[in-house]
Structures are given as C-alpha cells and as structure tokens.
Chain A
Amino acid sequence: MKHSIVALAIMSVGLGAAQAQDVVKLGNAAPLTGTISHLGKDLENGSRMAVDAINAQGGADIGGKKVKFELIGEDDQADPRTGTTVAQRLVDAGVKGVIGHLNSGTSIPASRIYDQGGVPQISPASTNPKLTQQKFPGVFRTIANDVQQGGALGNFAVKTLSARKVAIIDDRTSYGQGLADETEKAVKAAGAQVVAREFTTDKATDFNAILTKIRATAPDVVFFGGMDAQAGPMLRQIKQLGINTQFLTGDGGCSPEMIKLAGDAINSNTYCSMAGLPLDKMPGGAKFRADYKARFNGEVQLYAPYAYDAAMAIVKAMEKAGSVEPAKYLPELKTINFEGVTGNVAFDAQGDIKEGAVTMYQFKDGAWLAL
C-alpha cells in the first residue's frame, strides 16, 4: 500500500510513469444512500466482482507486470452536486478509471470533471443521450442509450400494444425526462396520439392527482419514465383509481423490486423495456447470477453485469496498451472488442455501446418475461 502511494507520488510529479506499481485504483460512483440506493449498491457490487475476479488471478498482466486493483466506491446520493464532489474526490485520489455514475443527472455533470482530470469514465447505467453527445474523449457507456430505448418503447406501444392514445409521465430527472421525450417522439412518429404529458418527482409516492387527470383522457397505454420506487406505487394507484389501461415503463422500472412494490396491482398488462439482454440471455448471465449470489447473498437487481463489463473494459484496455495511464490506454479503450457478461463490448465513435440491444418484457407468472 505504502509502495503504491510512493509510486503515485512519483507519477504525480511526472517522473517515470511506468514505475513499479502493484495496486491501481479504480473509482466507482453510484447512489449508496437515498431512494435508489438498492440499485446503486448493485452497480457497485458489479464493479467489485470484476476487480475481485482480476485480483483472484493474481492481477492483470500490464506491461509485463502483474497489477492488482483497488476499487474506491463513492456515494453520489443520486444528486448532481454531490456527484461532482465525489467525481473530484475520485480524480484527486488518483483513480485511473471510473465506473459510474448510475443516474444520467449525475453522470453528465461529473463527466466534465473526469474529462478535466483526464480520467476515463464508463457508465453502466446512464442512458440519457446527452452524456456521450458532449463528445468528451473519455466518456463511454456499456448500456444502450435512450434514443435506442425510447424508439423501441414508442414503437412497442403503438405497434404491439396497438395504442391510439398514450399518456406519458416522467419524474423530471435527466433519465426519466430523456426517455419520456424519446418515447413521445416515437409514439407520434408511429401515428398515435399523446393525450397527456404529466410530471412527478423522483421522491414522490402520491400520484393520485396526475393519474386522476390522466383518467379523464382514457389512454390505452400509460408510459412512465422513471425508477421502480415510483413505478410500483404508481401502478397501485392506477388500480385504486379504477383506470383501465396498459402500463409501460423503461429499464428503471424493469426490476424484481418493481414486482414486489406493485403488489397485487401488477398484471399481464404491465410491460417494461430493458437496454441490453435479459440476464438469462446474456452470454455470461447464468454464471454471473450464481457468482453474484455466492458473493453478496442476493439477486442481481439491474446494473451489476454492465458495471462488471465496464470495469473489465478498462482493465482489458490497460492490458492491451501495457499501461495503466489513461492517456496511453484510452486509444485501446476506444477500439476495445471483447465478449463480456452482457454480450459483445465495443464502442462507437461517440462512446456508446455498439448494437445496444433493447428487450421488451411482459409481467407473467410473478416475473418479467422477455418477449
């Protein structure tokens, strides 16, 4: 440990960057407290599994040396301001790469800090298109973005669910709003009508007022852009208000948690989309689920496999470049191409995952069933 601090000190004054350094720091940033901390911890667990897997083999082979990794997990509280603070803290701690953040709303402001600090950032969860549209050279994501996902959702609502009238609600976060906007575009492009566009927050539990308003428009489908913590109670209230409609939501509501929270209100009229493939259909899904259960004694919530692949992408790029320095391994990261847990990991020119798949799910027999 002391050795690595000395090595770090030498590097930071610009002397011999390729000095012996047996432990390299990687950062992980996600909300570990607050309303979606269960998803944040899941994300961090994914990164931790990747780091543990590499360390268990004795480390990665970088520039002829065995290099071990240390993961520094920070709590961004799903808050943009805290997000930038922890981003700066990670940069100051000398991490060589960051996995995170979870929320688009924190990833976007934080990405500027990582860019200035010269630290590559791979988000396993932020799907807002703006993140990579900023054209920072070191920003990537291992999950399909909202243009891809919203398009799929809008088409699904109109073509598969044959909706003529769609009501759209979002939670005013970068993620929820971005996804709802893309879905709205796709719904309109497919020829259906958006009869209501309502808003809530990511801390709300009562949606009766906006749902009552929506009820008056008699929609065929209610779409919600937001997280499971809101989507579950929202679905209950839809039932309580006697609204007869189909319910559709994005990846934030596509979790096992959603099924628990919606209780008896969830039925086969409930659909959600997920960027990427279902865990069972991921090439490394079954093994990942078993490993995760053995390590953390729980089920994978959502983002753990994407975080795992993000961490692996950084390490693989380092191995190819033979250096842990961002300036050296960044070109390799841009052209990386490997089979991860979630599928083939390769980035396009903008940093988005290539061929980001979107899968639709329907609630059936107590679980999400991939369509």
Chain B
Amino acid sequence: METLIQQLINGLVIGSVYALIALGYTMVYGILGLINFAHGDVLMVGALTALQTMLFLMGVAPGLSPIYMLTIALMVAIPVCMTLGFLMERLAYRRLRNAPRLAPLITAIGMSFLLQTVAMIIWGRNYHTFPQLISTTPLEPIAGVFITPVQVVIIIASAAIMIGLSLLVTRSKIGRAMRATAENHRVASLMGVDTNAVIAFTFVVGAALAAIAGVMFASNYGIAHYGMGFMPGLKAFTAAVLGGIGNLGGAMLGGIVLGLVESFGAGYIEHLSFGFLNSSYQDIFAFIILGLVLIFKPTGLLGERVSDRA
C-alpha cells in the first residue's frame, strides 16, 4: 500500500512538471499549428540562467536567505526566457508563418539544436550541480510515504500556475484575443485583433512557464545540463498530444496522466505482465496508452476540435 501511494506521489510530481511544459507546446500549437520543438530547450536555458544567477548571488551575498535567492534567480530566468521566446518567434517563426507546414517544424528542430549548442558553449559539457535552495530532505514520513518539501512546492506551484493561466485565457482581454486568433487568425485580425502581438505574447508566456518548469526540474533533481531539456520536452509533447494538443486543460490532464502512467508502469509492469516485461519497457507502457487513446479518440483525451490547419 505504501508503495502504491509513493508511486502516486512520484507520478504527480513528475506529471506536474510535464503538464507545465506541455502547456507551452499546446498554447503555441493552438494558435499557430506549430509544434515548437525548441520549447524543451527554453526550459534548459531557464534552469541554467537561474543557476548562473544563484552562483553569482552566492558570490556577492552569501548570507542571502534561500527564498530570496530563488526568487531573484526566477526573476532573472523568466525575463531571459521570455526574451528568448519573443526572439525565436520574431526572427525564426514569423517569417515562415505562411510557408508549408514542414518548414517551421524543421526550423523548430534546428532552433532546438542551436540553443543546445550555444548553451554547451556557454556552460560547457559538464553536468552542473543545481543548488537545492528548497530542502530535498524528506519530511517526516506519513505511513511510510516520503515526500520532500521541493516536491510539495512543485505540485502546489504547478497547480497555481495552471489555474492562473486558465483564468488568463478565459477571463482576460488578451485571453479572448488569443482564443480568437486560435480560431482563425485572419478573421481575428479583420476584427481588429493585433494577431502578431497575440502570437508573440503566446510565445512569451509559454517561455515563462518553461523557465519556471526548468527551475523546478533542476531543483528537484539537483542537476542542470545543456541537454536536460530534451527528454522532458519530448515527454511533455507526448503529454500534450495525449490530452489533445491545442487544448489547455488537455495538456494539464495529459501531463498528470503521463506522469502517473510512467510511475505505475515502471512499478507494476512486471506484475501485470507476469514477469514477461520489466521496467526497461516503462516508456513503451506510456506509448501504449498514448496509442490506445489516439485510436479511440484521435483528438486526445480532451481535444474537441480538429485544427483545420493541421
């Protein structure tokens, strides 16, 4: 039983991070029909920028309390990633907006390589230890289940950010402009919506989420590296598709479901398959679920409309 609950928590923690990253994929896809493969690497830039800031702060103000240090690091990482998201859209994707779909997709992959290589030049090839400013020492176990403060923060912060984003999209003026642009950006622009600004805004918000996810990811595992964005990016993309790409609620649900499936998959696949499969097949387990969902519901768990630009 304690193993079961522990796996549930493991799944929730990783699932929250996936969900946060998946939001960035899904927002951009919803509006542009573009899968921004460089999104995972924005996460990496966020984590490494935060790391650099923390190291700087530890040098100049070693007595600073961890909470301030983390806040300042986020305050630096988020704008850096926002600028990066803005520049990516402005310099690379905007020119290709009316190009065949394959062109921006390949550009996105190229952008991903570019970011990784630049990060490798700046921060080197080595893994960096990420200061764990929120404690990773487990709290007093409850019924044999362990959870660390940083994991609690991840779950709560992700939930708060997701609620905030939902409100932004459904309640605010810019949110309405986003939805209008997603529906049909030509018509939206005829109605007086500045679609270029809306698209840029979407990239900027997505990048900010990625920065936060990057800092969370690095804080939880205690490492940062120029290639760290690749795997979570890929998993979050899967989560976005699972939930129904283009749909915000779907991305959140997809992230959590994927996290849980992975966690339970690794934990129980051996029993479920009577010892035939083992934990080396944990990713297969996630993709079987994805396959099944897409067979029976091609638009994903919560996907309603099929994008006419797909």
> Which residues from chain A sit less than 8 Å from chain B, CB to CB?
32-35, 37-38, 41, 172, 197-201, 203-206, 208-210, 212-213, 215-216, 228-229, 232-233, 236-237, 239-242, 257, 260-261, 263
What distance in Å separates the Cβ of B28 from its nearest Cβ neighbour in chain A? 24
Q: Are B223 and A205 in contact (CB under 8 A)?
A: yes
Q: Please, which residues of chain B bring their CB within 8 A of the CB of A240?
A: 136-138, 146, 148, 151
B225 at interface (Cβ–Cβ under 8 A)? yes
What distance in Å separates the Cβ of A292 from its nearest Cβ neighbour in chain B? 16
Of A201, A208, A241, chain B has the most CB atoms within 10 Å of the CB of A208
Q: Please, which residues of chain A bring their CB within 8 A of the CB of B264?
A: 209
> Which residues from chain B sit less than 8 Å from chain A, CB to CB?
3, 6-7, 10-11, 13-14, 120, 124-127, 129, 132, 136-138, 141, 146, 148, 151, 217, 221-223, 225, 227-228, 230-231, 262-267, 278-280, 282-283
Compute how far the CA of A260 lies from the CA of B264 in the bound complex, rounded to whole angstroms.
30
Closest to B147 in A: A240
Query: Which of A33, A212, A228, A257 meets B3, CB within 8 Å?
Result: A212
Compute how far the CA of A370 lies from the CA of B150 in the bound complex, rounded to whole angstroms.
35
Is chain A's binding surface mostly helix, strand, loop or mixed? helix
Closest to A32 in B: B125
Q: Are A236 and B222 in contact (CB under 8 A)?
A: yes
Q: Are B279 and A200 in contact (CB under 8 A)?
A: yes
11 contacts between A and B (CB under 8 A): A33-B120, A38-B127, A199-B278, A208-B13, A209-B7, A209-B266, A212-B10, A216-B3, A233-B222, A236-B221, A261-B127
What distance in Å separates the Cβ of B7 from its nearest Cβ neighbour in chain A? 5
Closest to B281 in A: A199
Q: Are B223 and A241 in contact (CB under 8 A)?
A: no
Closest to B17 in A: A206
Q: Are B278 and A198 in contact (CB under 8 A)?
A: yes
Q: Please, which residues of chain A bring their CB within 8 A of the CB of B230?
A: 203
Q: Are B228 and A205 in contact (CB under 8 A)?
A: yes
Q: Are A261 and B129 in contact (CB under 8 A)?
A: yes
Given contacts A240-B136, A242-B141, A260-B129, contact A206 B221 (CB under 8 A): yes
Query: Which of A199, A200, A241, A263 meets B138, CB within 8 Å?
Result: A241
Q: Please, which residues of chain B bring their CB within 8 A of the CB of A201?
A: 283
Closest to B130 in A: A263
What distance in Å separates the Cβ of B241 from its nearest Cβ neighbour in chain A? 20
Q: Please, which residues of chain A bring their CB within 8 A of the CB of B132?
A: 263
Other than the known A209-B267, A212-B10, A257-B127, what 19 A-B pairs have Cβ atoms closer than 8 Å?
A33-B125, A37-B120, A38-B126, A38-B127, A198-B279, A199-B278, A204-B231, A205-B231, A206-B10, A209-B7, A209-B282, A210-B279, A213-B266, A236-B222, A239-B136, A242-B138, A260-B127, A263-B132, A263-B222
Q: Are B225 and A35 in contact (CB under 8 A)?
A: yes
Q: Are A263 and B129 in contact (CB under 8 A)?
A: yes
Query: Which of B14, B125, B222, B265 meets A41, CB within 8 Å?
Result: B125
Q: Are A205 and B221 in contact (CB under 8 A)?
A: yes
What distance in Å separates the Cβ of A170 from its nearest Cβ neighbour in chain B? 9
Q: Please, which residues of chain B bring their CB within 8 A of the CB of A41?
A: 125
Compute how far the CA of A217 lies from the CA of B155 in the bound complex, rounded to whole angstroms.
28
Q: Please, which residues of chain A bring their CB within 8 A of the CB of B225?
A: 35, 229
Q: Please, which residues of chain A bring their CB within 8 A of the CB of B221?
A: 205-206, 233, 236-237
Closest to A205 in B: B221
What distance in Å separates the Cβ of A303 from its nearest Cβ neighbour in chain B? 14
Compute how far the CA of A241 lies from the CA of B6 in the bound complex, rounded to whole angstroms.
9
Closest to B271 in A: A213
Query: Which of A35, A206, A215, A232 meets B14, CB within 8 Å?
Result: A206
Compute how far the CA of A35 lies from the CA of B283 in the bound complex, rounded to whole angstroms.
19
Q: Are B136 and A213 in contact (CB under 8 A)?
A: no
Q: Please, which residues of chain A bring their CB within 8 A of the CB of B14?
A: 206, 208
Compute how far the CA of A198 lies from the CA of B282 in the bound complex, rounded to whole angstroms.
11
Q: Are A209 and B262 in contact (CB under 8 A)?
A: yes
Q: Please, which residues of chain A bring their CB within 8 A of the CB of B263?
A: 208-209, 212
Compute how far the CA of A163 lies from the CA of B267 in the bound complex, rounded to whole angstroms.
24
What distance in Å separates the Cβ of B19 from its nearest Cβ neighbour in chain A? 15
